[in-house]
Amino acid sequence: MGMVRVKAIVEYEGSEYSGWQVQPNAPTVQSDLERALKVATRRETRVAAAGRTDAGVHAAGQVAVFDVAADIDLHRLRASLNGITGPAVTVVSLETVPAWFDPRRDAVARSYRYTVVHGRPRSPLLDTRSWHVPSRLDAAALQELAAMVVGRHDFSAFRAADCEAKTTHRSVRYSAWTSSAGVLVYDITAQAFLKNMVRILVGTMVETVLGKRSIEDFAQLLEGGDRRRAGRTAPAKGLLLVGVEY
């Protein structure tokens, strides 16, 4: 029997997971999905994703692909998978795609969102989905910094020490903060990101508006530099993979 490639949109709350990628003796989103597929289809199935989110990071629109028998009913398969995976993972949709489709290499843009609760006590409702900063942050100043991120820059100062990317240059299409009732939300879209890039950008912007470095220092970091001169890596729990474009 022939096989078809299936594209899945996956939503997950990452608090209890050690990230996307399968790891020995640790719960991951990929391992949950592959386990569910094995039960539902009675065969070992490898799942590939558009990006490997880190431990604690959430997703509303992760894109994953896997191959299944051509005669499978995708509506029933989705229901089966959602009945097997844990409550923190949902397969939102399934559709067939060409056999050559690669969720990582074929992506033209990825969008992330980071949430900060500031200037107030911590929020129990947002605690697993945000970074709590007790100090009040200047939204206009953050937006000024975010606007500087748009365009092509050398983000070498904004990547994890173990990042293995061959080039540190990335083109950012959109970068902006919005503010509402003690909650700041940062949205950023680019074709690709370096490891921890969004979280380091957020940490550095927050530290900059708190006076730990100047706007000029931030601008210089966008043209390349030492990771040690940038700010802290914001907590993983505030980060959400919003979606992937093809």
Q: How does strand 3-12 pair with strand 58-69?
A: antiparallel
Give the residue from 144, 165, 162, 143 showing the smallest Cα distance to 154: 165
Extract the tokens encoding 243: 């979606």
* Catalytic residue (choose from 54, 106, 154, 226): 54
Sorted by sequence, the CB contacts under 8 Å of residue 164 that are 6+ apart come out as 195
Q: CA 187 to CA 174: how far, in whole Å?
A: 7
54 as an active site residue: the answer is: yes
The conformation of residue 133, written as its DSSP 8-state character, comes to E
Contact by Cβ (8 Å): 130, 116 = yes
Extract the tokens encoding 225: 């530099």
Catalytic center residues:
54
